[in-house]
Chains A and B, each alone.
Chain A
């Protein structure tokens, strides 16, 4: 496998062919903020938090879906990137109803953590305050669309780790929503195995264990990584 030589933030590194800028940066110890990226499933470039500057390209590119190439020059941190990342975060907060203080994931939320780390102390855009509901029909889990950022981690975990294919995305634009089967109440789903991988994958309080109270929901991502690693490395072969 041919290696590519590129620079990230001025440091020359060597990366395997066909890996993404995000992977290369992670291997080189450079942290790029992400939300929709989830170890173990493919990337979709949905959240736009991992945007980077690539020399020779005017557009900002998502690190999670951009492949490395020979001689590539990547900048992961600049005034322009910080501005766009913060704007993206503010738009995410403005789009639905994210009220950290009373959220089940308060203190354990990737969206909240990013907002803190990027210095987002207020939202400059008008809140959309849409009327989204809560699907509490499942006996174990709840889905609060108010807190969903449409990262589709749950969909990818459901299809590609569990293989159940229960979760999907319906609608377009701001009216997009995560659905169960053909938009059935979650509790009525015949395909859901109640494995909870979608809940583990969720970066916010959108998916939670039923009965969770404020700050109680902690998503355990390590189980997903454990399963994916075991499968890919044939640890379960007999």
Chain B
């Protein structure tokens, strides 16, 4: 009899998602689905609002990467105004996005994921968190928290607050970098570099003892998508879209973000509010693609900064063509922190960042505007359609976690296939499925693991709906 195992995190914070694992008649895992069960409705309730308010509204989607929504939204506004923003504004937005990459990646690595592989997959869930990390690796935990703080400081120096700064606006930004702010960042950089180096060395040691995880945690062929520069270099805010397959072949390149609908389709999954985007020409089965650090490093040829480029070379040696293991998202994340720090260092000496020429002004010159930016978790699209007065008629937001949805399903299935033992739901399987999801750093992980442990409701359900086995952990 085929069965369905449902993992339903009923968190003490907010219910966000559940996981269903499908088991066939022979007791083998045949597939998995990651459901997001919380409805937000931003696309709907933003209708009717002036497009100029969107950089203030959409960052409220999340407190972890509000900057990504701020920037994508401001860029969509630029497109509606049909303006080229001042050079200084573009560089300042980039600087804030680099701060965002550092803080979010540091959170993912140190606070959320490191407890798993430093304290042990099967260590007690009550200790397998950032507090356990503090108890057992105090210096590392402190350095990681400080690295996140460094990224947050950059955001605050530019936008006057760490979370939800209303700083980027359609046409540019509101304020430049201050001299004091620049010096504050500069003084902190050596420590940030040192922490990142420590983390890279640590993760390489983890890799040497975790080949099993590299093989099992979302290691499958898929496409990879992200923004790249005109010369194929690493991008995080400008550039155009590139799709690469797992052999490393570029299958679509330099597609303007405004034309994303020509390459991205969206399927809707029953029982989930998360849409599942796929590469349109190949359909929803073969067109599964991954976004985020792993994808960005796969698709780019270089990062334009020396230390990160050396690491990129090492990273690429893990793949035959593209690097296909989602466990290496962690490595990619650390390399992106390193690259961000090097770029930040370079920006601090750029006179443009202190310019007062920051904001272009224009009316409604295009009734549609698409803004794309690389959020820490992957490419983020904001697509607005407005009326001639600038009021929103239609809003489409394509977020990173959605784009990784199909890949997360496969990752969960792959891990479950290896660890499932009949209808019994084992602790070992739960812990590893959690981490499989955590590799992608979706919002789910920050709302559960950071608070202590992932609260789960796991159910095995027969086709007729009977609950065969239930494990609750809350």
Contact = CB atoms under 8 A, between A and B. Distances in A.
Given A213-B166, A214-B166, A134 B50 contact: yes
B321 interface: no
B210 interface: no
Nearest to B164: A101
A223 to B, nearest CB: 22
B173 to A, nearest CB: 11
Contacts of A211: 50, 52, 170, 361
A210 B170 CA distance: 13
Given A101-B164, A136-B391, A213 B60 contact: no
B391 A213 contact: no
Contacts of A134: 48-50, 391
B56 A214 contact: yes
B169 interface: yes
Contacts of A133: 48
- Residue picked from B50, B55, B60, B169, most chain A C-beta under 10 Å: B50
Given A101-B164, A102-B60, A136-B50, A213 B389 contact: no
Interface in A82-109: 101-102, 104
A162 to B, nearest CB: 23
B389 A104 contact: no
Contact of A215 (B48, B60, B166, B361): B166
B151 interface: no
Nearest to B361: A211
Contacts of A187: 389
Contacts of A102: 53, 56-57, 60
Nearest to A135: B389
Contacts of A136: 50, 389-391
Interface in B28-69: 48-50, 52-53, 55-57, 60
Nearest to B58: A102
- The size bracket of the interface on B is 10 to 19
Nearest to B77: A213
B52 A212 contact: yes
Interface residues of A, number: 15
A142 interface: yes
A211 B169 CA distance: 10
B52 A137 contact: no
B58 to A, nearest CB: 9
Contacts, number: 42
Given A102-B60, A136-B390, A213 B48 contact: no
A213 B169 contact: yes
A213 B53 contact: yes
A215 B50 CA distance: 14
A104 B53 contact: yes
Contacts of B391: 134, 136
A187 B50 CA distance: 16
Nearest to A212: B52
A85 to B, nearest CB: 29
Given A101-B60, A214-B166, A142 B50 contact: yes
A104 B52 CA distance: 10
Contacts of B57: 102
A236 B65 CA distance: 55
B326 to A, nearest CB: 35
Contacts of B48: 133-134
A213 B164 contact: no
Nearest to A132: B48
A155 to B, nearest CB: 23
Nearest to A187: B389
A185 B55 CA distance: 26
Contacts of B52: 210-213
Nearest to A213: B169
Given A101-B164, A134-B49, A213 B55 contact: yes
Interface string B384-409: 00000111000000000000000000
Contacts of B361: 211
A215 B60 CA distance: 15
A133 B49 CA distance: 8
Contacts of B55: 213-214
Nearest to A214: B56
Interface string A107-148: 000000000000000000000000001101100001000000
A107 B52 CA distance: 18
A215 B174 CA distance: 11
Contacts of B390: 136, 210
Nearest to A186: B389
Interface string B158-198: 00000010100110001000000000000000000000000
A102 B57 CA distance: 6
Interface string A9-22: 00000000000000
Nearest to B165: A214
Nearest to A107: B166
12 contacts: A102-B57, A134-B49, A134-B391, A187-B389, A210-B52, A211-B170, A213-B52, A213-B56, A213-B166, A213-B170, A214-B55, A215-B166
Closest 6 CB pairs of A and B: A214-B56, A214-B166, A136-B389, A102-B56, A213-B169, A102-B57
